[in-house]
Amino acid sequence: GPTCEDKCPSGFYGVNCSKHCDCLNNNECDPVTGKCLCLGWMGEKCERGCSKGYYGPMCSKKCDLCNGILWSDSNAACDPITGACQCERGYQGADCKQRVCEEDMYGQDCSKQCTCIMNNTESCAPGTGYCRCKPGFAGDSCERICSKVTWGRDCANKCECDYNVTSDCDPSSGKCLCLPGRTGAKCEEECPDGFLVSIVHLSAVAEKNGKCDKRDGSCKCQNGFHGALCTISCPAGHFGASCAACQCRNGAGCDPVTGDCYCTSGWTGIKCDTPCAAGTYGPHCSIACRCKNGGECDRFTGECRCPRGFKGPDCSTQCENGFYSDDCLLKCDCAGGSCQQKTGRCICDVGKQAINVYQ
């Protein structure tokens, strides 16, 4: 303007607004420098979209309030500009924390039971039934405890402890648990004169994995644990005072103390070597199938296989007129007449005769 009081119009910058912004995806630029002011985008010219879980100017803000957004299997998202939550299937509410199904159920009508070992599971995805394990556990049903050298969700992180001076790596936090006489984040330091072992460690051992002898401070370990501080758990597939090998089959884990098998979905029995009987499915075959009208369910997932003439998640819906066969996928070819919903055989009106006969 004549007195330089007007701001450059959108898309321009510089002296007398003579330069054109080259920002992509409808983003504005600074009227003085021409630097792109990316909103919901990042990069020098706003050429890259925000990563999952981020929004705002240059994707600098985290969608902390949107439940489930950081799970790898979740389709939850947040608006890249406003940060408003976009809930994954099975959740609702402004922060997506209101679960539609019960904690151990999932599916479109919440009719399927989760196959997760719930004590080891943070949540069962209400849309898919995917088991989201607590830190320290892994497996399709969260049945596996992390090994000595891994920690975190799905045991995806590698421990960084020096086992010359460390008794174990905490499977939940990755914290190095020091041998007597050592201290520090990685047990790299010797205890000061006059100290033998951290009181915090002794307290944790006494509460969880063993008992502390009040006379000499030595630890008496429970079955499934050993080491100076009872912090070394038996490796996966082993149990008891001597960490004997478990006798479980078909991918089952076992209790590190008792050796009891945690059967994976579709199996039961002391050694998890017995397939589920008809009408049951899931871990230890502990879930009753919900299939109706003679439908059979998959012993691993519980999904119903409907008999001819029926469809739906639980086989409760009869085929509509004009359709027949498995899941009612085939259309009757009866010249306007109806057909049997199981076989497709035409049911003729009075005075008419069937030409095509279905078996």
Which amino acid type is present at position 324?
Y
- Domain membership flag for residue 323: yes
Q: Which of 203, 234, 265 marks a domain boundary?
A: 234
- Domain membership flag for residue 349: yes
Whether pLDDT at 218 is above 80: no
Q: Mean pLDDT across the stretch 254-278?
A: 89
d(CA 41, CA 35): 14
Whether pLDDT at 38 is above 90: yes
Whether pLDDT at 110 is above 80: yes
Q: Where are the beta strands (DSSP E) in 249-321?
A: 253-254, 261-262, 267-268, 274-275, 280-281, 287-288, 296-297, 304-305, 310-311, 317-318
d(CA 295, CA 310): 9
Which amino acid type is present at position 131?
C
C-beta neighbour count of 29 within 10 angstroms: 24
Rounded to 5°, angle at Cα 246 from 243 and 222: 35
Average pLDDT of the chain, as a whole number: 82
How would residue 27 be classed by pLDDT, with cut points 50, 70 and 90? Answer: very high
Whether pLDDT at 224 is above 50: yes
What is the share, in percent, of the chain residues with pLDDT greater than 70?
88
Residue 278 backbone class (left: φ over 0; alpha: ψ -120 to 50; beta: rest): beta
**Residue 61, beta-bridge partner list:** 55
Whether pLDDT at 215 is above 70: no
How would residue 228 be classed by pLDDT, with cut points 50, 70 and 90? Answer: low
- Domain membership flag for residue 195: yes
**CB-based contacts of 177: which residues, under 8 Å, 6+ apart?**
166, 167, 168, 169, 170, 187, 201, 229, 231
- Domain membership flag for residue 198: yes
How would residue 344 be classed by pLDDT, with cut points 50, 70 and 90? Answer: confident
Q: Which domain holds residue 153?
A: 148-234
Question: Tell me, what's the pLDDT at 194?
Answer: 52
325 DSSP assignment? S
- Domain membership flag for residue 297: no
d(CA 331, CA 336): 11
Q: Which of 193, 216, 234 marks a domain boundary?
A: 234
Question: Tell me, what's the pLDDT at 199?
Answer: 47
How would residue 91 be classed by pLDDT, with cut points 50, 70 and 90? Answer: confident
Record the tokens describing residue 257, joined without a space.
């103390």
Total tally of structural domains belonging to the chain = 2
Compare 90 and 24 and report the one with higher pLDDT: 24
d(CA 207, CA 96): 36
**Any idea which residue has 């209790």 for tokens?**
255
This prediction's pTM: 0.49
pLDDT digits 0-9 by tens, 177-197: 888 778 888 888 887 755 554
pLDDT digits 0-9 by tens, 54-80: 999 999 998 877 887 777 778 788 899
Question: Tell me, what's the pLDDT at 265?
Answer: 87
Q: Where are the beta strands (DSSP E) in 289-343?
A: 296-297, 304-305, 310-311, 317-318, 323-324, 330-331, 338-339
Q: Which of 187, 218, 234 marks a domain boundary?
A: 234
Question: Tell me, what's the pLDDT at 202?
Answer: 47
Whether pLDDT at 198 is above 50: no
- Domain membership flag for residue 165: yes
Question: Tell me, what's the pLDDT at 108?
Answer: 81
Whether pLDDT at 206 is above 50: no
- Domain membership flag for residue 229: yes
Least confident span in 39-48, 136-145, 348-357: 348-357
- Domain membership flag for residue 218: yes
Record the tokens describing residue 250, joined without a space.
């078909």
pLDDT digits 0-9 by tens, 112-123: 888 888 888 888
Whether pLDDT at 147 is above 90: no
Q: Mean pLDDT across the stretch 349-358?
A: 56
d(CA 221, CA 206): 9
Whether pLDDT at 335 is above 90: no
**Any idea which residue has 């009866």 for tokens?**
334
| DSSP string covering 74-98 | ---EE-TTT--EEPPTTEESTTS-E
**CB-based contacts of 4: which residues, under 8 Å, 6+ apart?**
none
Whether pLDDT at 334 is above 70: yes
**Residue length, the chain?**
359
